[in-house]
Amino acid sequence: MPAVSKGDGMRGLAVFISDIRNCKSKEAEIKRINKELANIRSKFKGDKALDGYSKKKYVCKLLFIFLLGHDIDFGHMEAVNLLSSNKYTEKQIGYLFISVLVNSNSELIRLINNAIKNDLASRNPTFMCLALHCIANVGSREMGEAFAADIPRILVAGDSMDSVKQSAALCLLRLYKASPDLVPMGEWTARVVHLLNDQHMGVVTAAVSLITCLCKKNPDDFKTCISLAVSRLSRIVSSASTDLQDYTYYFVPAPWLSVKLLRLLQSYPPPEDAAVKGRLVECLETVLNKAQEPPKSKKVQHSNAKNAILFETISLIIHYDSEPNLLVRACNQLGQFLQHRETNLRYLALESMCTLASSEFSHEAVKTHIDTVINALKTERDVSVRQRAADLLYAMCDRSNAKQIVSEMLRYLETADYAIREEIVLKVAILAEKYAVDYSWYVDTILNLIRIAGDYVSEEVWYRVLQIVTNRDDVQGYAAKTVFEALQAPACHENMVKVGGYILGEFGNLIAGDPRSSPPVQFSLLHSKFHLCSVATRALLLSTYIKFINLFPETKATIQGVLRAGSQLRNADVELQQRAVEYLTLSSVASTDVLATVLEEMPPFPERESSILAKLKRKKGPGAASALDDGRRDPSSNDINGGVEPTPSTVSTPSPSADLLGLRAAPPPAAPPASAGAGNLLVDVFDGPAAQPSLGPTPEEAFLSELEPPAPESPMALLADPVPAADPGPEDIGPPIPEADELLNKFVCKNNGVLFENQLLQIGVKSEFRQNLGRMYLFYGNKTSVQFQNFSPTVVHPGDLQTQLAVQTKRVAAQVDGGAQVQQVLNIECLRDFLTPPLLSVRFRYGGAPQALTLKLPVTINKFFQPTEMAAQDFFQRWKQLSLPQQEAQKIFKANHPMDAEVTKAKLLGFGSALLDNVDPNPENFVGAGIIQTKALQVGCLLRLEPNAQAQMYRLTLRTSKEPVSRHLCELLAQQF
Amino acid sequence: MQFMLLFSRQGKLRLQKWYVPLSDKEKKKITRELVQTVLARKPKMCSFLEWRDLKIVYKRYASLYFCCAIEDQDNELITLEIIHRYVELLDKYFGSVCELDIIFNFEKAYFILDEFLLGGEVQETSKKNVLKAIEQADLLQEKTETMYHSKSFIGYKKAY
């Protein structure tokens, strides 16, 4: 077919495209495009009415420009005009433009919908198809509202042409996916099922997709599709390779339809009717048999199509998980593919075998391929294939082969791609724990992990080994001996120092009898690593040292010497300094008995789901770790490997890591305020509240400060006395400026920005919040060239706020030079829920004239939001639990800003709640959840925002366990859109 | 299928079809990321990769990469053949298609795709039926101008 006869030959378009192609630079391209845009604009605006052809040509040019990645903000009207042309190509271009550049202008939508309606009613199948394609391509809710009711009618109408039925089926599918609520089920559904019997293969192909989607929600309504699908499939599978004419693809009859039918059957359990089931099993066997036949063509298309059906068949067999014979045959077939020369097939075979490994019928059969899989892990050149092999080894692992698999994975780790190292580390750690027969092997394995890939050993992994060693006294001696040996390596990973430090601090006494690992040797070995370690590790080692003083009184003098050294007692890091001071005091003032009680061995950890497993699940998505999760294949494992007696955790611990152990996997509502840092220890011992203020920042604050750029005067700030917040009473300051509320609103969903600005002064804000704590930096900039005098910004708590929110500020310099900026740090603690923000009063003298200004400090209750992820089911359960009328607050309001889903998302995230996908049946809606953290209580919050683009309105619903909070949050959030 | 992208060896996007609602910004981000990932892969590597929570299936034809994103339960091999069938359709329509045909007749490439795939699902697999729909459209068309470019000035290697 000569190309010249093709297309509608828009010469101007071709010239334009080749001009663009000839552009030497991006700038030249933009210049050419701007010239063209100007030209088109003038043509569209010109007095002379454009003929259809020119309109089509220009619209097509605009489309081309848009597809190049440039913005197009006009031409929609001209495109809409094309829709009502009775010339096919003009209409076609009009539709293409509309589908690519979807516009939310409601007037335009009305015109588009009108044109579509006309075409749908035209009884011209070509026009009807164009209209249906457009609806399917746009797939918006508006389209659904306008047409979802009509399309089922077109789909099942007796006089619809085949091509129209095909388009209608998939068009309906798209609308259903976008807005299921808009597609009414009804009498037509039964007739759709019978499209499976249609003579036209294309109609069947389109209809299966629709049915597969619809039946997910209403399986019973579509149940008759099972027998129809089986008989259709059976006819295809048993047909000779040429029977289906144009639906045969490289000698494979109807591969797409076959795959879709097999897919549909996976929506249901095995057929109950024996005859149907027999016929289906026959089909599946035929497919497996055909896989053994010599290929009818050497073309890769032939084998791909054939194997596509084979893999889908195997998926169905795995889905049924009830035919041992078929499962084993499937496994053998995949085993052959493991060594196929096509990389694609090896990849898919490894992937598919992973699921087979979790079936009790085929688990053993999968295991027979272990050597091939290990070989794949070593020799595959494509990292994604190696990844699959690692996954499969993980899935096929059980007690019988754990040692082999773990050692192979460890060996692989040495050369593994950086991208997958962390995942391999997690997997090894899980397998080693799960299938450990003796725990010395487990300890060896984890230490090997740290040795080989220390950088990729996450906290979860080394926390876990400590947990297990602490809980199992039969392995403690071995662990102490092994870490001691490991630490003797000249260069060992910092994670090794952490594990070693902790274990020796707890169980070093178990090896102290040997003169080669006597207490002073243990101490000097650990201390030789001290100076090379990070702050966190050094803090941990300090705790080990104090534990040593208890375990080995003979080391006391040496250790006190270390603690007393200036490098510790005056360490710039507050955590280290604090530990040194406290431990030194503890070791000198406490009696041996007290010391022994305080520094007693850690009690066993309460058993929880392994946090490593949780991490792997997070990494890989649900289901990834499930093969091992349920322990189905290995019921005995629980006795040895899961069983650690639950013990209430009583005393706090001198380790920074201890309170994190295990708790990380728990959902936030259950998490206690994580404050069991070093400080609490002393509070317990001295039992005096007076000890508290001297403790300095809690670990959380320290964490926050790490996230911030170091403030210029920060070493000073640590020593400066905090100033009580409210020196002037509320009556001393003026009312907030009129814009205060508006300024406050700007900060509801963000933490940084300019809070206020006039000719004299600019106030910038930077803040961070964690749990119920926050730190805010205020930057006061003098915009003039004259010095401000008596400059004094203060924070005031009106009303009851004092009891709800604690804000500590420091004084700032009383003079601010012209052009200079001063910074003020505020430490904020939310004590309980509050409704009004604190006030910020700024006073100074400028050129002798007193200036005063009162603003609302951007601290609103939502800043203490902690996002909570949850599944749809949990969400609805909690939603129902909060069903008292006073727990709900709702607002319906007009949009003040353009309704952009991305912007809305960003705002909701900024507000602080988690955004939950796949919860609301309507994907346009937003659903969020979180917990407001205050010192006194936690308030669970659920929210739902329903935009209505047509009406430019929103409906916002908040449910929380506390009535004023619901209302307050609702008001705060409603002003953001 | 969630989307299909056609891009050149140089990373120029030649066709994009999105079957899920995404903002323009997100589309550009995805495109950039995928083009980079796919172009970085070596010729003998397998045609599938995991990407976010989707599976990417891609294949190179001469200077063009065809790249589809499918969901977890979708079939990779049949997707490869969706790509191949689309290439065949283009080839039949344009007469040994090459990248330039798709550049200069991008609208046709979209029309053919719409006849073959709709809403991300295969609508019609018969080559005859798909092309019949397109030919009919060409017959309906009233004006015929000669094409600006002729095959002779294309210095490109053919797709097959």
Q: Per-residue DSSP letters for A577-646?
A: HHHHHHHHHHHHHS-HHHHHHHTPPPPPPPP-S-HHHHHHHHHH-TTTTHHHHS-TT-TTHIIIII----
Residues B12-37: what's their mean pLDDT?
Answer: 93
- Quick check: ipTM above 0.95? no
Q: Distance, in angstroms, between B25 CA and closest chain A CA?
A: 9
pLDDT at A901: 85
Enumerate the H helices of chain B as residue ranges. 24-39, 76-94, 99-104, 106-116, 127-140
Q: Distance, in angstroms, between A155 CA and closest chain B CA?
A: 14
* Nearest CB to B125; choose among A92, A171, A256: A256
Do residues A435 and A641 lie in contact, with contact meaning Cβ atoms separated by under 8 Å? yes
- Is the pLDDT at B153 greater than 50? The verdict is no
The torsion region of residue A657 among left (phi > 0), alpha (psi -120 to 50) and beta comes to: alpha
Q: At what angle do helices A11-22 and A26-45 cross, to 10 degrees?
A: 150
Q: What percent of chain A has pLDDT over 70?
A: 87
A50: confidence class by pLDDT, cuts 50, 70, 90: confident
The residue ranking higher by pLDDT, A57 or A733, is A57
The reply to whether A53 sits in an annotated binding site is yes
Burial code of A457-486, b = ≥16 C-beta within 10 A, e = fewer? bbbbbbbbbbbbbbbbeebbebbbbbbbeb
Q: Distance, in angstroms, between A610 CA and closest chain B CA?
A: 24
Residues in chain A within 8 Å Cβ distance of B128: 246
Q: Where are the domains of chain A?
A: 369-605, 738-859, 862-975
Do residues A407 and A395 lie in contact, with contact meaning Cβ atoms separated by under 8 Å? no
CATH code reported for the domain at A862-975: 3.30.310.10
The helix (run of H) or strand (run of E) holding residue A352 is: helix A343-356
> Average pLDDT, whole number, for chain A?
82
- Is the pLDDT at A360 greater than 90? The verdict is no
Instruction: Tell me whether B67 touches chain A (CB under 8 Å).
Output: no
Residues in chain A within 8 Å Cβ distance of B144: 5, 8-9
The total number of residues shown for chain B amounts to 160
Task: Find the closest chain B residue to A210 by CA distance.
Answer: B121
Strands A753-757, A252-253: pairing kind: unpaired
Q: Distance, in angstroms, between B132 CA and closest chain A CA?
A: 11
Cβ-based contacts under 8 A for chains A and B: 211
pLDDT tens across A264-305, in order? 999 999 999 999 999 999 999 999 999 999 999 999 999 999
Instruction: Tell me whether B51 touches chain A (CB under 8 Å).
Output: no
**Residues within 8 A of B (CB atoms), A 274-333 only:** 301, 304-305, 307-308, 311-312
Residues A568-574: what's their mean pLDDT?
Answer: 86
What number of CA atoms fall less than 13 Å from residue A439's CA on the CB side? 20
A936: confidence class by pLDDT, cuts 50, 70, 90: confident
Give first-to-last CA distance, chain B, whole Å.
26
Lowest mean pLDDT among A236-250, A263-277, A367-381, A441-455: A236-250
Task: Find the closest chain B residue to A7 by CA distance.
Answer: B138
Task: Find the closest chain A residue to B7 by CA distance.
Answer: A68
- Is the pLDDT at A1 greater than 80? The verdict is no
Q: Distance, in angstroms, between A299 CA and closest chain B CA?
A: 12
Residues A743-768: what's their mean pLDDT?
Answer: 87
pLDDT at B140: 65
pLDDT at A637: 38
Instruction: Tell me whether A251 touches chain B (CB under 8 Å).
Output: no
* Residue in the block written with tokens 């897919």: A263
Reported CATH class of domain A738-859: mainly beta
Asked if A343's CB is within 8 angstroms of B147's CB, the reply is no
Cβ contacts of residue A840 below 8 Å, gap of 6+? A763, A778, A793, A794, A795, A796, A854, A855, A856, A857
pLDDT tens across A508-552, in order? 999 998 889 999 999 999 999 998 899 999 999 999 999 999 999
Asked if B104's CB is within 8 angstroms of A305's CB, the reply is no
pLDDT at A623: 43
**CATH number, position B8:** 3.30.450.60
Beta strands in A112-259 (DSSP E): 248-249, 252-253
- Is the pLDDT at A814 greater than 70? The verdict is yes
Instruction: Tell me whether B47 touches chain A (CB under 8 Å).
Output: yes
The 10 Å Cβ neighbour count of residue A536 is: 16
A402: confidence class by pLDDT, cuts 50, 70, 90: very high
Question: What single letter denotes the amino acid at residue A316?
Answer: L
Instruction: Tell me whether B88 touches chain A (CB under 8 Å).
Output: no
Do residues B8 and B1 lie in contact, with contact meaning Cβ atoms separated by under 8 Å? no
Report the SS3 class of residue A665: helix
Task: Find the closest chain B residue to A258 by CA distance.
Answer: B78
Q: Distance, in angstroms, between A261 CA and closest chain B CA?
A: 12
Q: Distance, in angstroms, between B40 CA and closest chain A CA?
A: 12
Instruction: Tell me whether A73 touches chain B (CB under 8 Å).
Output: no
Residues in chain B within 8 Å Cβ distance of A87: 140-142
A242: confidence class by pLDDT, cuts 50, 70, 90: low
Return the DSSP state at A229. H
Which CATH code of 1.20.58.220, 1.25.10.10, 3.40.50.150, 1.10.287.110 fits the domain covering A369-605? Answer: 1.25.10.10
- Is the pLDDT at B100 greater than 50? The verdict is yes
Burial code of B49-85, b = ≥16 C-beta within 10 A, e = fewer? beeeebbbbbbebbbbbbbbbbeeebbbbbbbbbbbb
Residue A782 phi/psi, 5-degree rounding, is -85, 115
Residues A30-34: what's their mean pLDDT?
Answer: 93
pLDDT at A807: 86
The residue ranking higher by pLDDT, A525 or A615, is A525
Distance CA A585, CA A339 (A): 67
- Is the pLDDT at A555 greater than 60? The verdict is yes
Burial class (CB in 10 A: 0-12, 13-18, 19+), A683: middle
The reply to whether A11 sits in an annotated binding site is yes
- Is the pLDDT at A643 greater than 90? The verdict is no
A619: confidence class by pLDDT, cuts 50, 70, 90: low
Residues A810-838: what's their mean pLDDT?
Answer: 86
Mutate which: B70, B126, B128, B136, vs A, most A CBs within 10 A: B126
pLDDT at B141: 57
Asked if B44's CB is within 8 angstroms of A1's CB, the reply is no
Burial class (CB in 10 A: 0-12, 13-18, 19+), A24: exposed
For the record, the structure tokens of A174 come out as 């798209």
Do residues B8 and B15 lie in contact, with contact meaning Cβ atoms separated by under 8 Å? no
Sign of CA dihedral A342, A348, A351, A357: negative
- Are A369-605 and A862-975 the same fold in CATH? no
Instruction: Tell me whether B148 touches chain A (CB under 8 Å).
Output: yes
Give one DSSP letter per residue of A542-553, joined into a string: HHHHHHHHHH-G
Do residues A940 and A961 lie in contact, with contact meaning Cβ atoms separated by under 8 Å? yes
pLDDT at A697: 36
The torsion region of residue A104 among left (phi > 0), alpha (psi -120 to 50) and beta comes to: alpha
- Is the pLDDT at A858 greater than 60? The verdict is yes
- Is the pLDDT at A680 greater than 70? The verdict is no
Residues A307-329: what's their mean pLDDT?
Answer: 93
Residues in chain A within 8 Å Cβ distance of B118: 132-133, 136, 166-167, 170-171, 174, 206
Distance CA A267, CA A260 (A): 11
Asked if A346's CB is within 8 angstroms of B45's CB, the reply is no
The residue ranking higher by pLDDT, A964 or A61, is A61
The residue ranking higher by pLDDT, A295 or A629, is A295
The 10 Å Cβ neighbour count of residue A567 is: 11
**Residues within 8 A of A (CB atoms), B 96-115 only:** 101, 103-108, 110-111, 114
Residues A77-101: what's their mean pLDDT?
Answer: 90
B151: confidence class by pLDDT, cuts 50, 70, 90: very low
Give one DSSP letter per residue of A111-147, joined into a string: HHHHHHHHHHHS--HHHHHHHHHHHHHH--HHHHHHH
Spatial CA neighbour of B40 closest among B21, B60, B22, B23: B60
Spatial CA neighbour of A83 closest among A124, A141, A131: A131
Residues in chain A within 8 Å Cβ distance of B123: 166-167, 170, 202, 205-206
- Is the pLDDT at A646 greater than 70? The verdict is no
For B71, the domain range is: 1-156
The 10 Å Cβ neighbour count of residue A361 is: 19
B146: confidence class by pLDDT, cuts 50, 70, 90: very low
Residues A932-938: what's their mean pLDDT?
Answer: 86
Domain count, chain B: 1
Lowest mean pLDDT among A337-351, A371-385, A712-726, A911-925: A712-726
* Nearest CB to A301; choose among B25, B84, B107: B84
Return the DSSP state at A695. G
Residues A857-864: what's their mean pLDDT?
Answer: 90
pLDDT at A204: 95
Lowest mean pLDDT among A555-564, A681-690, A880-889: A681-690
Residues A294-323: what's their mean pLDDT?
Answer: 94
pLDDT at A812: 82
pLDDT at A739: 83
The three-point CA angle A33-A38-A44 to 5° equals 125
